[in-house]
Amino acid sequence: KILVLDFGSQYAQLIARRVREQNVYAAIVRHDIPAERVQEIAPRGLIFSGGPASVHWNDSPRCDPDLFQLNLPILGICYGMQLVCQSLGGKVESQRGREYGPALCRIREPNELFEGLPNEFQVWMSHGDQVTAISEEFTVLASTDSCPLAAVKHRRRPIYGLQFHPEVTHTSYGSQILANFVKRVCGCQGTWKLTDFAEETIAEIRQRVGSNRVICGLSGGVDSSVTAALLSRAVGDQTACILVDNGLMRRGEIESVIEEFSKHFKTDLHVVRAEDRFLAALAGVTDPQEKRKIIGRIFIDCFAEEAAKIPRARFLAQGTLYPDVIESGGLRDGPAATIKLHHNVGGLPQDLQFELIEPLRNLFKDEVRQLGLQLGLPEEIVWRHPFPGPGLAVRCLGAVTKERLEILRQADAIVVEEIKKAGWYRKTAQAFAVLLPVQTVGVMGDARTYEEVIAVRAVDTEDFMTADWSRLPYDLLGRIATRIINEVPGINRVVYDISSKPPATIEWE
Ligand code: XMP
């Protein structure tokens, strides 16, 4: 096993995932994990992630200095490298201009980390500071034009530093470098599988829950369904699932979830009808973060009320994925910058009476899908496009009203229906409609119209951390637009969103 110490990187989980792709288990831990705890876990090696901080800041995230005495292999990436080098006698300087983007890296000394690589390869840089001097204990392994110390190694110990990011696909041979680290340097065999993860997780849940009862929030999406499947394997009859109908779901979704549930799960299902409550609280609210907070709060209230009806309920299970965690500001109080408040993470009150179970917290979406298939869930659930917790509220830009939601729901159903019909549903990762609070002029028949706009969004992505817009065929886009304008009252214009993430996000709010 490998531990990835998270110094607030948007990429910490990507590092863990690249390691798991080598069939070596990797888990993320806080950057300040005590050396003693690391000894108990007994990993084969440590990877220090990057992060937005500078080692010169007073409050920058540090690691336990005793980690360097454990004689474990360490790979520091970006900020992780700067921290390692500074801790072991090197010097880090803040550069005048940040370096962001591709660079050509030349190997200066053959070594285990770069085994099997050509002498020159492309790397991805994203940093403000860089290491400008290393102690005599270190040697330079590779350089780029603007970064002479792009890769370094301790002369006597298995400690490495990389200024570039091997975990992103823009670094050619990045996976090879990580594979070399975990296999050649750390000596991992590469025999771990996702099925091991399922078995271990089921056993862990069983042990943690004991004879108590667990409540599981069900949304119908793949994440909560896989969570429910793990629970029903682990502690089936002690589980009660709660589905909150917040009035913000896609068309027909609640009914289909109830139907699927009765087919595939043997646990209780409680459906809370709370549409009015959500819409009343959202009335007049247009700020995206505010919407998320309100929805998160009411969601938890509904949950708590329903849960109170279930005796001996001590645990709350959620299908939180790593991207939700990281984009909501890292590991609860971790160092990553907040991009969006995901309601299932950011909205949890401090005095929650439940203990949380988040079995998917370390996984990416595609890993969850694989797991779902292994657990025997139907393809209909496993391949359903993800849907945000705050639902259509964050796709109904501006005020959220029952009428506007209905317009959006109709448009969204057309988008999904046409995409399925054209055989594109599995080729795109997520596709949906967004209702814009903008009126534009049109002409229908002989009359002038002044109505709202629907934006269509479809993206290709593996992990939802980065995404590109899907190259849907023009004919398909044409059919979607024609149908929406003809069939959905109040809409006279359809546009297609061609932004990538970053710098845009997938959702509009
Ligand atoms: P963004 O918009 O951040 O979305 O690029 C990335 C993925 O996360 C979904 N998403 C959410 N999921 N609660 C969730 O459970 C949320 O608050 C939330 N916001 C976004 C989004 O649909 C996409 O798949």
* Helices (H) then strands (E): counts for the chain: 15, 18
pLDDT single digits (tens) 167-179: 999 899 999 999 9
Architecture of domain 2-185: 3-Layer(aba) Sandwich (3.40)
> Does 227 contact ligand 1 (Cβ within 6 A)?
no
> Does 343 contact ligand 1 (Cβ within 6 A)?
yes
Same fold, 2-185 and 395-496: no
φ, ψ at 387 (rounded to 5°): -140, 130
- Nearest to 381, CA basis, from 483, 228, 155: 228
**CA distance to 194, 207, 266, per residue, from 235 (Å):** 20, 10, 11
Nearest atom within ligand 1 for CA of residue 390? 17
- Nearest to 507, CA basis, from 292, 254, 320: 292
Distance CA 506, CA 174 (A): 26
Q: What residues in the chain have per-residue pLDDT under 70?
A: 96-97, 322-352
- Helix, strand, or coil (residue 346): helix
**Annotation marks residue 127 as catalytic:** no
- Nearest to 462, CA basis, from 368, 340, 372: 368
Residue 175 labeled ligand binder: no
pLDDT value at residue 490: 96
Catalytic residue among 63, 78, 147, 396: 78
Ligand 1 centroid–CA 388 distance in Å is 5
Question: What is the CATH topology of the domain spanning 395-496?
Answer: GMP Synthetase; Chain A, domain 3 (3.30.300)
Question: What does the block give as tokens for 267?
Answer: 């646990």
**Complex confidence, ipTM:** 0.97
> Which among 342, 465, 466, 501 is the best mutation to test ligand 1's pocket, defined by most ligand atoms within 8 Å of the CB?
342
pLDDT value at residue 335: 43
**Annotation marks residue 417 as catalytic:** no
pLDDT value at residue 164: 96
Question: What does the block give as tokens for 352?
Answer: 């929650």
pLDDT value at residue 332: 37
Among 3.30.565.10, 3.30.830.10, 3.40.50.620, 3.40.50.720, name the CATH number for the domain at 194-382. 3.40.50.620
pTM of the full predicted structure?
Answer: 0.70
Burial class, 137, CB count within 10 angstroms (exposed 0-12 / middle 13-18 / buried 19+):
middle
- Domains of the chain by residue range: 2-185, 194-382, 395-496
Distance CA 387, CA 406 (A): 17
Phi/psi region, residue 374 (left: phi>0; alpha: psi -120 to 50; beta: rest), is alpha
Q: Which residues pair with 2 in a beta bridge?
A: 26, 45
Ligand 1 centroid–CA 317 distance in Å is 19
